[in-house]
Amino acid sequence: MSFQDIFKSNFLENVTSVSVLDMVLAIVLAFGLGMFIFLVYKKTYSGVMYSSSFGTTLVALTMITTVVILAVTSNVVLSLGMVGALSIVRFRTAIKEPLDIAFLFWSIAVGIVLAAGMIPLAVIGSVVIGVILLVFVNRKSHKNPYIAVIRCDGHESEKKAAAFLAEKTERCVIKSKNAQKGSVELNMEIRLKDDNTDFVNALADMEGVQSAVLVSYNGDYMG
């Protein structure tokens, strides 16, 4: 055994397995595309509470995936160990918005494609996906749904209120009904004919109607 064999290290041999230029280029591109994903997420977010930390996570996830795949592609033995290590990882953070899952997979996919050297695919694919999301997610319906919460004092006033709403709106469907002694509460999904909501004032002034509330509704939450 020679003197050089004593200090020979597989760890040091792996230092040059990925060139500095490849590392810098991949990380810079991952950061740029991660920022693009973050901006698309910010523009298309339509949930209740916007989380800036999730947007930052998208950028970090793109870069982290790129670094991991670079290491895996440079060493076959390392790739097998990485698969075993990642198989025991469990994430328990709840995803509140279904669209967030698409952004997470988008970030991971961009990191993998970049590290594989398919730069045109990563860039062009991200631009196409971003444009599609901006067009379809931000498209607003001309007839936004609303929920009318009406509290009446009996059956007769309930019938009059329902008939009044059916006359003043384009669509009126009962979503739920809560009946108690001396009080009936209706939750009705309605579609307005126009932007005029003065009929709510007239509804609240009807005899037997205790209160009338109109809130916007998107199918996930009311607000």
Exposed / middle / buried, residue 206 (Cβ in 10 Å: 0-12, 13-18, 19+) = middle
Q: Give the CA distances from residue 219 to residues 90, 144, 194, in Å, rounded to whole numbers and listed in that order.
A: 30, 11, 20
Higher pLDDT, 14 or 63: 63
Sequence spans of domains, the chain: 3-137, 145-216
Q: Could you give the CA distance from residue 98 to residue 89 in angstroms, rounded to a whole number?
A: 22
Mean pLDDT of the chain: 78
Residue 46 has pLDDT above 60, yes or no: yes
Say if residues 150 and 179 touch (Cβ distance below 8 Å).
no
pLDDT at 12: 52
Q: What is the CATH number of domain 145-216?
A: 3.30.70.260
pLDDT at 222: 38
Q: Could you give the CA distance from residue 65 to residue 43 in angstroms, rounded to a whole number?
A: 24
**Sorting pLDDT into bands at 50, 70 and 90, what band is 221?**
very low
pLDDT at 198: 83
Distance of CA 202 to the CA centre of its chain: 39
pLDDT at 121: 92
Number of CB atoms found within 10 A of residue 4's CB: 7
